[in-house]
Structures are given as C-alpha cells and as structure tokens.
C-alpha cells in the first residue's frame, strides 16, 4: 500500500503536458478555421475558381495527346495530379484540406507527447 505509481502508469512531465495542450490548440484552431472556410465558401465559387484556365485548356483530348506524345504517360499523370492538388486550395475543398491537416498535426503532437522520455 505504498504511494508509488504503478509501473504502467507514466508520470506526466511538463513537456508532455505542453505537447498535449499544443495538440488540443492545433486541433481547435484548425477545425475552427475549416468551419469558417466551409461557411463562407459557396459551391458555385468552388467550381468556378478551381482551375478555370487549366480545366478549359488541359481537359482537351488534343492537349492530353500532345502531352503524352512529348512526355509520356508519366507527364499526363503528373499533370492530372497537379490539377487535383491545385483544386485542394479553393472553396469547400480548402475546408476539408484544413480539417485533415489540423487533425494530422494534432495527432503528431499527441504522439510526440507519448514518446517523450520522463524527466529524471
């Protein structure tokens, strides 16, 4: 009946507490920003703004054929990836991107707090 902690129970150090608070702050701020972007973005603006120039030029079969002839299938795949990645930073997709990034960063901070060594 001693007051010593069990071997499984870890002592929370100030660094662990700080990292967990940072994880919570990152999650709250990121999800709040995502909600604000989602509330202010309209569905029409999402379709109009995302790749206006690139979608009209790069979606033609002639452009895709020329690109494949010059750079191969890898160039076509890279162009498609670039169009997709560019679309993540506009309108409602930006809200999802912000939410995913904030959840990921918060999870990394929380996991970092778990692996911190206890103070001696």
What single string gives the DSSP state of each residue in the chain?
--SPPPTTSPPPPHHHHHHHHHHHHHHHHHHHHHHHHHHH--HHHHHHHTTHHHHHHHTSHHHHHHHHHHH-HHHHHHHHHHHHHHHTTSHHHHHHHHHHHHHHHHHHHHHHHHHSPPP-
Residue 6 in any domain: the answer is no
Range of the domain at 104: 14-115
Instruction: Please check whether residue 68 lies inside any domain of the structure.
Output: yes
The model scores a pTM over 0.75: no
| Digit-coded pLDDT (tens) for 22-66 | 999 999 999 999 999 999 987 655 555 555 555 556 668 888 888
pLDDT tens for residues 72-96?
A: 989 889 988 988 888 888 888 999 9
Q: Is 5 contained in some domain?
A: no
Number of domains observed in the structure of the chain: 1
Q: What is the mean pLDDT of residues 110-114?
A: 92
pLDDT of residue 8: 46
Does any domain span residue 69? yes
- Residue 60 in any domain: the answer is yes
In a domain, 104, yes or no: yes
């Amino acid at each position: 009946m001693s007051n010593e902690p069990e071997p499984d129970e870890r002592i929370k150090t100030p660094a662990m507490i700080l990292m967990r608070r940072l994880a919570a702050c990152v999650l709250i701020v990121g999800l709040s920003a995502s909600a604000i972007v989602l509330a202010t973005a309209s569905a029409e603006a999402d379709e109009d703004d995302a790749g206006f120039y690139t979608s009209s030029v790069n979606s033609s079969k002639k452009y895709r054929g020329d690109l494949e002839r010059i750079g191969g299938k890898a160039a076509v795949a890279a162009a498609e990836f670039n169009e997709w990645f560019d679309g993540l930073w506009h309108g409602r997709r930006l809200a999802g991107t912000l939410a995913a990034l904030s959840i990921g960063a918060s999870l990394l901070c929380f996991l970092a707090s778990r692996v911190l060594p206890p103070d001696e």
